[in-house]
Structure 1
Amino acid sequence: MKSPKIRFKEFQNDWNSRILGEVCNKFDNLRIPIAENLRKKGNIPYYGANGIQDYVDGYTHDGEFVLIAEDGANDIKNYPVQYVNGKIWVNNHAHVLQGKNGILNNIFLNYSISSINFEPFLVGGGRAKLNASVMDNLTFRIPSDIKEQEKIGEFFRKIDGILDLENSRFKKLENFKKTMLDKLFVKDGADEPQIRLGSFKGEWNSRILGDIGETYCGLSGKNKDDFGHGNAKFVPYINIFQNSIVNLAKLEKIEIDKRQNSVKNGDIFFTTSSETPQEVAMSSVYLGNEENIYLNSFCFGFRPKEFLNSYFLAYFFRSHYFRDKVIPLAQGISRYNISKNKMMELKIRIPNDIKEQEAIGEFFRKMDGILEFSQKKITKLENIKKYLLNKMFM
């Protein structure tokens, strides 16, 4: 095959096989590392292996270039290719290439190199390396017509522009949610939140956490042979850690055991240990209705004794207000644990009006729906780009 599977119809010529070092100029000799304590802050982007490391005063390169990571972790994702145009500082962890004028378009080069799997060419251990000599001798195919290169390059730049826009929107939504998790719940020393939804007024009630619910333990008396089979299921630790509401599609199998505590709709699960204090007591609300569902042994359950809105609780226990209360309770050195008895002594403030609980819960539920839709859109665009990189290059 001498042309890619997908191409613009106005171009018919075969693609030529070329050696990278023959069609690119390399400017590695201009790279200069900067010790962090010697950096003078400025507005020039300072690039390393994994992108922009800092902004500094001064530059090593000025023009249109393609940067390829020289070394990084073994994960191939840590070997990004970056198109840059303008003044930049590049340290000694990124190769600096520039397509030869009239032979190789730099934007095309950026995406062409991005379609190559570097993994077979890496050498070394913990920080595998893409040697300059190996890179220079990479063989790849390019269109002989520079206009086809330009059109392909601009096509992928437009895709990246759409992706940048969607990622920016997603980040803004995430930040908005974080702000509202701070503003819609009462802070210590206050009687009501900074922002109220609708026409709700009045102080929130001060309650002791243990007075509004009871705790229970997760699975006990099990070994590794008990997991992965059976007609019952359990909620794994990672499901709770990652989700404010349990993902019912990611439960795991176990045998039915009537001695264990079965979970119920509306229960809240808390993780009991973590690697950092900031990650203790991460919570997740269970909204399923199946029988014979248990909780993993590294978490404990909390079952409200009175009617409280489950969606409100899902976001309340993930709010800055509650997290600021629970993090100081973490104890440990290499691994941190939390006492559920100490947690149950915490004083919290919640709305007395169930309607306000419902309004707050629904607000965040819709926010998460928008975020999920946005993330799916980004993933779909990334998959389309990946497919086209595979089909439009050789």
Structure 2
Amino acid sequence: MEKILLEDCCEILDSMRVPITSSDRVEGPYPYYGANGIQDHVAEYIFDDELVLLAEDGGNFGSKERPIAYRVSGKCWVNNHAHVLKPKDGLDVDYLCYSLMFYDVGGMVNGATRQKLTQAAMRQMLIPKRSITEQQYIVKLLGKVVSIKEERKHQLEELDNLIKARFVELFGDPKTNEKGFTKAPMGEYMTLLTDFSSNGSYKTLDSGVTMYDEPNYAWMVRTTDLESGDMSSIKYIDEKAYELLSKSKIYGGEIIMNKIGSAGKVYLMPEIDMPASLGRNAFMFRYDDRINVRFLYEQLVSEYGQAEIQQYVRGAVTKTITKDDARSVLIIVPEKELQDEYAEFVKQVDKSKVVLVCMTAKISRIIRLIVNSSTEYCIKRICIGFSEGVICYGI
């Protein structure tokens, strides 16, 4: 299929961007955009058009699920972390956006810690060249795919609400504890509270632990991995580093908490079939047999749980929580049988969620396939497959 350079089909408006530090922003009605979406709202605007914003740095580069480009419409402000593209005549703005959302920029971005897609590299990006009629046809098909995704997202939200409602039905409000359950510091039930630095001095760990982008012996678990659920961008360590980090090995089913940044945010480690070790900036908890971990996780992520945790978070700029504070978080502890009953209910609901999540996660593949498909037949087969819950290549 014939391709066209981005610099030949778009006006590049990067020179009009203006970053505003958070302290200098004046609150207002206009969205303030960055690499991955709205960052704030401000009192003035610098653009008033139909545009596509493409991440320059800090984007979701390498992710198979999270886009690196998105559409904006009307009055807005854009900082210097996103390229600003206005399609020229003959290029549909939505088609441009779909063409870039999941573009493989491997080999185009640079930077060891914060990857950057320079303007020079961006100008050389290629998108499929089609007539405006073909573009609009593809946009219409992808609109249907996105609608299905939104429907699945709504269904997931309803299942999450069902889990919350069942918790309240069985346990009431942990804050008032009207059902009279035991209420005690979480630390009284812990068998392990550990972190990366429990394995030795910073000097020893810095020299002995190297992270790799390519698959290696063990997964170095970061909370960003658990947040996104995207296994395509995880980091690895070798066997020697894994053994050095013997005090923070992960086997699945643990509770993990951010200790800095988004301090107090809680994750449930999924079951895994590979060696894994806890990354920096997080705590890992294990509990005795009086606690069902799934029940406790749902309590900790509830409105009560997060309020209870956040009272221990310190810091005006960089938020932190200590081990002792994590131990002090008050939890209700119903009879184990009741905890188990709730956890089994959640397990059954999760089975329905898995199906919906898998279907929703296919959106990026569907977009890439449709944008780059050369025949109408192939495009139709892909869409049919997605609506039926499978990806059908059918060529």
| TM-score between both structures, scaled by the size of structure 1 | 0.58
> Would the aligned equivalents of 1:216 and 1:300 in 2 still touch at CA under 8 Å?
yes
In 2, Cα distance between the equivalents of 1:286 and 1:106?
39
Greater mean alpha carbon deviation, residues 28-37 or residues 329-338: 329-338
Task: Give the letter aligned to residue 358 of structure 2.
Answer: K
Shift of 1:378: 1.0
Q: Say if 2:313 and 2:321, in contact at 8 Å, map to a contact too.
A: yes
Partner residue, 2:54: 69
CA contact 1:105–1:149 (8 Å) conserved in 2 = yes
The residue matched to 1:46 in structure 2 has which SS? strand
Residue 89 of structure 1 corresponds to 76
Which residue is 2:248 aligned to? none
Indicate conservation of the 8 Å contact 1:81/1:114, yes or no.
yes
Q: Distance in 1 between the 2:187 and 2:36 partners?
A: 50
Structure 1 counterpart of 2:148, from 140, 159, 162: 162
CA distance in 2, matches of 1:31, 1:134: 18
The one-letter code sitting in structure 2 at the alignment partner of 1:371 is K
User: How has the CA–CA distance of structure 1 residues 186 and 350 changed in structure 2, closer, same or farther, with 3 Å as cutoff?
Assistant: farther
Partner in structure 1 of residue 135 of structure 2: 149
For the 8 Å contact 2:255–2:285, the answer to whether it is kept is yes
Task: State how far apart, in whole Å, the 1-side matches of 2:40 and 2:128 are.
Answer: 35
Q: Percent identity?
A: 19
| Equivalent residue letter for 1:50 | N
What is the alpha-carbon distance in structure 2 between the residues aligned to residue 210 and residue 23 of structure 1?
58
Specify the SS of the correspondent of 1:41.
coil
Q: 1:272 to 1:31 in 2, by over 3 A?
A: closer
In structure 1, the residue corresponding to 2:118 is in which secondary structure?
A: coil
Amino acid at match of 2:72: V
**Deviation string for 1:330-376 (max 9, x for gaps)?**
89999855359x95x98754446x77545533443334333333212
Structure with a larger share of its residues in helix? 2
Match of 2:100 in 1: 113
d(CA) in 1 for partners of 2:56 and 2:321?
34
1:1-394 paired onto structure 2 within 5 Å: 3=1, 15=2, 17-28=3-14, 30-36=16-22, 37-42=24-29, 44-63=30-49, 65-69=50-54, 71-73=56-58, 76=61, 80-85=68-73, 87-93=74-80, 94-100=83-89, 103-114=90-101, 116-122=103-109, 126=114, 128-131=116-119, 135-136=122-123, 138=125, 140-143=127-130, 145-171=131-157, 173-174=159-160, 177=163, 185-187=171-173, 190-192=176-178, 203-206=179-182, 215=191, 274-275=259-260, 278-279=263-264, 301-304=286-289, 312=295, 315-316=298-299, 319=302, 321=304, 337-338=322-323, 343=327, 349-351=332-334, 356-357=338-339, 359-392=341-374
CA-CA distance at 1:72 after TM superposition: 0.7
> Offset at 1:151?
0.9
Equivalent-residue separation in structure 1 for 2:31 and 2:311 (angstroms): 38
For the 8 Å contact 2:255–2:267, the answer to whether it is kept is: yes
For the residues of structure 1 that align with 2:222 and 2:10, how far apart are their CA atoms?
Answer: 47
Task: Quote how far apart the aligned CAs of 1:142 are.
Answer: 0.7
| Runs of 5+ consecutive residues of structure 2 not aligned to the other structure | 209-219, 228-238, 240-252, 272-276, 376-395
How far has the Cα of 1:189 moved from its partner? 6.2
Matched letter for residue 376 of structure 1: C
- Quick check: 1:66–1:81 contact (8 Å CA) kept in 2? no
Q: Structure 2: how far apart are the matches of 1:89 and 1:109?
A: 19
1:76 is paired with a residue whose SS is coil
Tell me, yes or no, if the aligned pair for 1:273 and 1:337 is still in contact at 8 Å.
no
Q: Decide whether the 8 Å contact of 1:274 with 1:337 is kept in 2.
A: yes
Count the aligned residue pairs: 330
Distance 1:276 1:105, change over 3 A: closer
Query: How far, CA to CA, are the matches of 1:25 and 1:273 in structure 2?
Result: 42
The answer (yes or no) to whether the contact 1:59–1:88 under 8 Å persists in 2 is: yes
Distance in 1 of aligned mates of 2:144 and 2:108: 30
Q: Which runs of 5+ in 1 are unaligned?
A: 4-14, 193-202, 226-235, 244-252, 254-267, 288-294
Equivalent position amino acid for 2:97 in 1: N
Report if the CA contact (8 A) 2:260-2:319 is conserved.
Answer: yes
Superposition CA RMSD, Å: 5.7
